[in-house]
Amino acid sequence: MKIEISKLRELIEKQFYEKNVPREVVQKITDYLAWAEMSGNSTQWIIKMFGTEPMQDIVPKYEMKIQKETPCSILLDAGWNNSIYVSQIATDKVIEKAKSVGMAIGWVRNTFSSNCAQSYYLKQICDEGLIGLACFRSPWAVAPYNSISPLFWTNPIAFWFPTHEESIIFDMATSAITYYGLIVAADKWQKLEENLAMNDKWEMTTDPKVALDGAIYPFDRWYKSSNLAMMVELLSGPLLNSSYCDYKTFQEEWGWTFIAIDPNILLDLDDFKTKSSDMVKTIRESQARNNEEIRLPWDVSQKKYKESLKSGEVDIEEIYLEKLGHFKK
């Protein structure tokens, strides 16, 4: 169902204001959720308001604070503040530091909820002429290769590079399906494809509700993706003196790592953009198999975002508009 972006923002804001969430926090969250829907991130947008940790219900334990800071790094103790809000603060700090010293890294720990799509924050880094990298971990969802214990989260990792035309974007989970992919499928009574998840008896299942009590497989069902997930766990857990592999202990410690690099420390930014643009052009003009179109990872999301921006509307399924109260008189 088509809905104006401005109306969508009103519906989102109302949910948070009813829970007395501060205006500054609400605005940053709404900015993200509107962007995610415009980009077609179906498992990383408003569903986060109605899943296992509804973000509008999050109550901070104390004020966010800087736990450690250097000229090129910052570690934020979130104090259970909303993850999107704290991640935005970290992103702003990382951009500021990278533009000052050439490279910066930011960490966020001690919060309970997803900061959603990493590419949202990396876009802001890239818009400043910087290269962005990010990764994220939280408790229990994915079983390592040959394990039956869900020790990792979906542990996404993302990159964003500036070019003269389209940015180079790569944002992926290291799991076979995102956790909220299970939530969405369960909401719609849809079956999963085979070999995505297991039940609590550690047998393959296509029932998303059953999978929620089991575990998700690594994306290639092999040791390579499992080991990549472990690298994300190290960068966003032990490195922050934060939790790791906390299998259903409910320590509620989620961690993120943001990195920004100024290409000017190696070569002129304009020269880097030229080379990056040429690389994309080379790939797009390469010989395609069976004359199929060569599609790059960001094509669909960027197309959807531009279309929404131009029309001023987004297409949202009625089930979620109903949850937002759109049909109430």
**What single-letter amino acid sits at 159?**
F
Q: Is the pLDDT of residue 71 over 90?
A: yes
Residues 205-225 pLDDT 10s:
999 999 998 999 999 989 999
Q: 242-251 as b/e, with b when 16 or more CB fall inside 10 Å?
A: bbbbbeeeee
The pTM for the full model equals: 0.90
**Nearest residue to 156 via CA among 206, 87, 99:** 87
CA distances from 199 to 148, 207, 213, 312 (A): 10, 9, 6, 42
* Residue 258 parent element (H or E): strand 255-261
pLDDT value at residue 329: 57
Residues 249-262: pLDDT tens digits?
445 678 999 999 99
Strands 65-70 and 204-205: unpaired
Return the CATH number of the domain spanning residue range 1-57+298-329. Answer: 1.10.1530.10
What is the residue extent of each domain of the chain?
A: 1-57+298-329
